[in-house]
Structure formats: C-alpha cells, structure tokens
Amino acid sequence: MSPAGASSSGAPRVVLGVAGGIAAYKACLLLRLLTESGHDVTVVPTAAALEFVGAPTWAALSGHPVSTTVWANAEAVPHVRLGREADLVVVAPATADLLARAAHGLADDLLTNTLLTARCPVLLAPAMHTEMWLHPATQANVATLRSRGVVVLDPASGRLTGADSGPGRLPEPEAILVAALSLLRRARRADPVGAGRDGAEGADLAGRRVAVSAGGTREPLDPVRYLGNRSSGRQGFALAATAAARGAKVTLVAANADLPAPAGVEVVPVGTAEELRRAMHEASAGADGVVMAAAVADFRPAAVAENKIKKSDDPDDAPQVRLVRTADVLAELVAARAPGQVVVGFAAETGDAEGDVLTHARAKLARKGCDLLVVNDVSGGAVFGRARNAVTVLTARGDARTVPEGTKEAVSDAVWDEVASLWTPAEHHPAPPVE
C-alpha cells in the first residue's frame, strides 16, 4: 500500500460517499472540484443514491469503476481496502439514514463498511429536510459521530426540495472542498509519511464554540457614501472555515464581505462598527474562543446626512466632516471574557519613524490585553484581497511565532494551533512549520 497522502499516481486518495438524497447531483460538482485539484477520487454511492445519479456518471467523472456492494470485485476486499487506503473520506450528501447507520456502526453496504474501516479524517456534509435535521434522533447521532472525531458540518439554511426553506440544505460544493482540503492539509502535517494515521486528528476542535469576525465595516456619511477600508474578509472567512473543518461550532460575523459562506458556519452579516460590536458580544457569550479578524473602523462621521451631499459649482467648496471615535470592540471583548475564553486580535501594521511593524504590534497587544495578536505587515498594500498571507503571532507571554507565506487557510490553521495550545497548555507541543 502506498504511503498516506499518495496513490500509485502520487495523488492523495479520497473516497467520496454519496447517500440517497436529492442533493446527490451536487456531489458531481464536488467530484469534479476534487479531481481537478489533483486528488484520486473513488465514488462510493449508496443504492439509493444511484436512483438520483447513475453509476456511469460517477465512473466517467472519477475515472474509477463504481459499486455499492461488497460483493463486486470481492477478491480485492474493497470493504476493507477503501477505508484503509484512503487519506480522506467525504460523504456528501449525508442523509439522516446515513448518519444513523454510521453512528450505530452498521455495515450493510460498501459505504458504511468503508466508514468503519477508515483510519483517516472523515467529513460528513448532511442534507435533509429541516424536520429531519432537527429531530432529536438525528441530533443525537450527530453528537455521537462528533464525539468519535468525525467532522460533521452543519447544513446550510435555504431552499429545500419543493417550496420549503430552512436548515438542511447541502453546503455548496466549493465550501465542502475547502473543508476537505483543510482536513487533508492537517493530516499531512500530523503524519507526513503515512504511519499511524488517526482520523481524530482533523477534529481537534470538536466540542469548542468560536466566534470570528471578518471583513471591513462601513460608516455611512450620507445615503450614498461611507468611510470604509480595504479588508476583503478572506482571512476571517478562512479562519471560520478551518475551525469548522476541525470540528468547532462557528459563528462568523461578516462585515461587507462578498464571499461564499463557509460550510457548516453560521454567518451573521453586519455593516457598521456598532452592528459588528453588538453581534460579536452576542456571539462571544459562551464561546471558547473569539477571533477579531475584521477591520473595524476607528472613526465614524459625527452626523449622517439624510440626503446625498451635493457638490456645488465652487471648486473650493467641500464639506468638512467631523469624525468621532467608534467603540473599541476588541478591548470590550477582552474585558468581558469569561474564564478560559481565548481572545485573539489582529493588527494590520506598517513601520514608521516611531518603530517597525512588530514594535507597534507589541504595543497594541499590551494595550488591548488579548491572549494572541496576529500581525500583518500591510506595507505597500500587501495582504488585502490576496489568496496568500504571512503573519507573526504574538502571545501575551512575549513569544512570537512566524508563520511563513502560505494560503490563508494554512495561516488559519497555524492560528488555531496557537489558540488550542492555550486551551490545553499541559498537552501543548511546538507546532510543526506551516507548509
């Protein structure tokens, strides 16, 4: 058997399970996304799933034969081999029936056998009607699976089969892909040669609740204009996505970010600094971790014009705008934190005559009183809107960890590693370098 992380072709092995729900057609796009991003994917549909999407479709898109039974190709023992050799198992959609069978350890088809033999991260993306998702039996099954280290994403809310809407919609395939890649990335970091894989590694934040802010606030000047900033929200969204992929219950307070909702994350849209302030106080109540990645305006216009401010013909006639301070949301969250709650701030800094980036960042850390400060050097417009980032994580103890340039998801994993070390200091070991 090849080492974990590679098939005979060198590609990571992914088993894509498909259960029998109407959302099975969306798994076709997830399959295409996985294969196009360099993964060797074997599709294992249930018999019910084949009522929605036929085996020839899965075979054509994956390049592998498709079977739902343990009797096909029996000499290769597929009910054991697939789970043992996989680097990741994803089930999308995971129906209420599939969740129940997985939670109770049933093995009545090839997919449930694969789930029982898998020793890699397992990601389940539920999709079902709202009443089925909210039923106590389903919630108990989800809790059981999560307690075993399985990552079960919360379904999205939206239009379901027919005219109904509510929680139970399959997260978008692109969002499921982000969660899948996060689990694969962590599995490679934890065990780069494939010896002794542990599926629970991916769900190390299971049972934790976290609140994350993202984006940039906008302070209105009149019905048309506002004071804003250049934050895209991509780092905050990546933090939310990776936390959910590691098993956490995540609330994302998103300020003016035009990005797709991360899979399994509750998104609370806001506009102004005051709206973000109220939403973060609510989201942080009872949370184990609070991450303030949003760029919150320091000032707002003292008055908002009821109508659009008109430009006169006089070139020297320009309105004078008086600004007032907004609330210091991070400082308020630090002051209100409960025992054991970890609060993380972000600093977008440039050097000047008074000091370099880290000098200013350390002063901010001391001033705010948070547990960690993630420092971005934004000199020359770096970071904003870009897919890659490099940061320095400062701790209240005075330590500094440099996270080299990588994807914003990789940076997010490094931040959560530091947060997790503060939750369990006795078990903390130095984090491996981020790839």
CATH number of the domain bearing residue 218: 3.40.50.10300
Please state whether 355 falls in left (phi above 0), alpha (psi between -120 and 50) or beta. left
3-class SS string, 277-312: HHHHHHHHCCCCEEEECCECCCEEECCCCCCCCCCC
Residue 190 and residue 253 share a domain: no
Residue 133 and residue 242 share a domain: no
Residue 336 and residue 261 share a domain: yes
pLDDT for 30 beyond 90: yes
Residue 274 and residue 377 share a domain: yes
* Average pLDDT of the chain to the nearest whole number: 89
Domain membership of residue 6 (yes or no) is: no
pLDDT for 434 beyond 50: no
Query: What does 152-209 look like in DSSP terms, one character per residue?
Result: EPPPEEEE-STT-EEEEEPPPHHHHHHHHHHHHHHHHHH-TT-SS--GGGGGTTTT-E
Confidence of residue 1 (pLDDT cuts 50, 70, 90): very low
Domain membership of residue 433 (yes or no) is: no
Q: What is the pLDDT of residues 392-414, one digit of tens each?
A: 999 998 899 999 999 999 999 99
Domain membership of residue 303 (yes or no) is: yes
pTM of the model: 0.86
Query: What does 335-363 look like in DSSP terms, one character per residue?
Result: HHPPTT-EEEEEEEE--BTTB-HHHHHHH
| Cα 403 from Cα 417, distance rounded (Å) | 11
Domain with 411, as residue range(s), is: 209-427
Residue 216 and residue 172 share a domain: no
Looking at residue 2, what is its pLDDT?
Answer: 38
Domain membership of residue 113 (yes or no) is: yes
Confidence of residue 383 (pLDDT cuts 50, 70, 90): low
Counting the structural domains of the chain, the total is 2
Domain membership of residue 233 (yes or no) is: yes
Residue 160 and residue 216 share a domain: no
pLDDT for 201 beyond 80: no
Residue 241 and residue 146 share a domain: no
| Cα 53 from Cα 301, distance rounded (Å) | 56
Q: Which residues are catalytic?
A: 229
Residue 265 and residue 130 share a domain: no
